[in-house]
Structure 1
Amino acid sequence: MEDLKNFQKYLLLRNRLFYKFNGENIRSAKEFLETKDIPSTWKAGLEAELFFYKKFETKLSLTPTLDAGDNSDFSGDYNGPARFDVTTNLDYKSLIDYEKSQYDWGDYYIALFDRKAREFEILDINFPFCDKCGEGRLFPIIVVEEANNKPFNWVSLYEACSYDGYDSQKIIEEQVLCPTPSELIEDFKHPSVQMKKRETLRKYSEALKRFFKYKNQKIPFLLGEYDYIITDREGGGYWGLNIRWEHPVLKDVYNPDAFIKI
């Protein structure tokens, strides 16, 4: 009951905010946010929505929506009908939250607002549903392999089913001046530096994402490299693709073993 009251209160504040913006101006809307006693998490989210609306209202033909369980803040046009979920924190977002609406309705995008840079990154999470198994989605994956002519390595972009790895295909392959993920993190083995290890892999993945964006390719949401994967205390295991980094929205929504034999 309390959650429902809070949700209704949030929607009322949101409606008044956009009324201020549309009926008056951006300054009135911002002053409304500053003068109201609003929880900081609500204020951050409403501020992000306001800036998104101001920046893209015309370009994306935006209309504020009533978020009634479909995880959308705006409807609009982004190479076709689309819905947008605006956020400042991906920790609370998961592809699972959008799947039913994507299947029933169509394209969804997450608009991630960087509060320091005052910029948006629009994330395309419209991964095709796998026609063969009917269970998975086709995710774009960076695969890094060692090359003979160091310091270059092979960097490929694959697309593969998240459920069983079927329908995998190599989209592009290039030799790139970069280390392999293993080389990059070889000094980060102690448990005390695991956070630094994750951040290093994230920055490495972001750099490769920019490379593929420059090549006008799909933006990868996973990073993997071929490795010997140990499965028991005696050192038994197998060679396969080891996922080194995943985009936050894919956390716990795919089968890691699905990509072993890409």
Structure 2
Amino acid sequence: MHPAELYNKIKAIVFSVLNRDGVIPAYHMLEKNRSQLPLPSWYGLKAELDFYTNYKDKYTLDPTLDYGIKCDFTGNIDGDNNCRIDITTNLDYKKLEHYDAIQRKDNRKYKIVVMDKESGEIADIFDLNFPIDESGDGRIFDIALFMPSSSGNDGMKYDFYQNIIEVSSSDPASDSNLKDTCTDWYMPDFEYMISNLPEEVDYDKEIVEYAVSSSKVLDRSTNSNIMACAQRYYDVIDPRTGDGEWITKIYWKHPVIENYLEDFIDADLSELY
């Protein structure tokens, strides 16, 4: 039997027991079938059962069998009625391109619910409904553009701020829009932050952690959904002379949309706004 068919078969059994006999027998049935599924799949089914039993009434949930629509339930979340809901325990394995054609065909809202596989509680709800750009080929994402600060008399930098830019993934260099500016927090730009790191640290790890934490703060401050963090970057074209041009470097992209944006944008977006 195909793994997906086996998964759906066991899911149907577990949820049938749930609706007929209640929560405890359903979890007993889930445990009884542990050896029938690969461990990640078993945890995935447990996450679905956890979500349904804990949030059925809150989100008006109906289970579905996933026949190519990337959907475990339908329900009402954050005002999106009858949206499709995909359950996971690790958002890093979910990619927007896997949902893109389905969304365009059916014009349905999608949410990814991340479940804590130990506690059975929701860890995050990720909204996949990024607007389609004017070309029809790309999506529009919010990017936090970290603006460099000028130096004070003491050589320190204080007046950091961030422009929140809406960019089209199909043409980010020329199709962008200033959404907001945030001056509320002391968030150094990436180059300044990196210059103050000890030599022995893992720079890539530090950049990701800084970007993720900063994006969450900026989400709340600007009512945005930051999918990437960027800054102007001097691209050296001729190493002999140092000649080059200012472009935009994306220091971090959310894993869900990472294949929609290149690491560099061939324009200095900080000069546009």
2:267 equivalent in structure 1: 260
The percent of aligned pairs where both chains have the same amino acid is: 27
Matched, 1:85 2:80: no
Change (3 A) 1:22 1:44: same
Change (3 A) 1:16 1:226: same
Residue in structure 2 matching 1:225, options 208, 212, 231: 231
What stretches of structure 2 of length at least 5 have no aligned partner? Answer: none
Between 104-113 and 31-40, the greater mean CA deviation after superposition: 31-40
TM-superposition CA deviations, 1:205-259 (whole Å, max 9, x none) = 2322332332351210111011113456545532111000011111223344447
The residue identity in structure 2 corresponding to 1:244 is Y
What secondary structure, in the 3-state scheme, does the structure 1 residue paired with 2:47 have? Answer: helix
What stretches of structure 1 of length at least 5 have no aligned partner? Answer: none
TM-superposition CA deviations, 1:92-131 (whole Å, max 9, x none) = 2111001111112221111122335643211112110011
Residue in structure 2 matching 1:213, options 213, 216, 219: 219
What are the equivalent positions in structure 2 for 1:106-145 lying under 5 Å apart?
A: 106-116=108-118, 118-131=121-134, 133-145=135-147
2:181 equivalent in structure 1: 173
What secondary structure, in the 3-state scheme, does the structure 1 residue paired with 2:259 have? Answer: coil
Alpha-carbon separation, structure 1, partners of 2:238 and 2:25: 63
TM-superposition CA deviations, 1:153-175 (whole Å, max 9, x none) = 11121111011124311111122
Matched, 1:203 2:209: yes
The alpha-carbon deviation at position 188 of structure 1 amounts to 6.8
Matched, 1:98 2:99: yes
What are the equivalent positions in structure 2 for 1:23-62 lying under 5 Å apart?
A: 23-36=20-33, 37=35, 38-62=37-61
Q: Is the 8 A contact 1:164 1:259 kept in 2?
A: no
Give the greater-gyration-radius structure (CA). Answer: 2
Between 19-28 and 47-56, the greater mean CA deviation after superposition: 19-28
Post-superposition, which runs of at least 4 consecutive aligned residues in structure 1 deviate over 6 A? Answer: 187-190
1:240 equivalent in structure 2: 247
Between 178-187 and 9-18, the greater mean CA deviation after superposition: 178-187
Alpha-carbon separation, structure 1, partners of 2:203 and 2:167: 26
What are the equivalent positions in structure 2 for 1:151-166 lying under 5 Å apart?
A: 151-165=158-172, 166=174
1:185 equivalent in structure 2: 194
The residue identity in structure 2 corresponding to 1:167 is D
> What is the number of equivalent residue pairs in this alignment?
255
Change (3 A) 1:187 1:214: closer
TM-score, length-normalised on structure 1? Answer: 0.86
What secondary structure, in the 3-state scheme, does the structure 2 residue paired with 1:68 have? Answer: coil
Alpha-carbon separation, structure 2, partners of 1:206 and 1:33: 35
Q: Is the 8 A contact 1:87 1:111 kept in 2?
A: yes
The residue identity in structure 2 corresponding to 1:172 is D
Q: Is the 8 A contact 2:250 2:264 kept in 1?
A: no
1:6 equivalent in structure 2: 3
Alpha-carbon separation, structure 1, partners of 2:215 and 2:266: 19
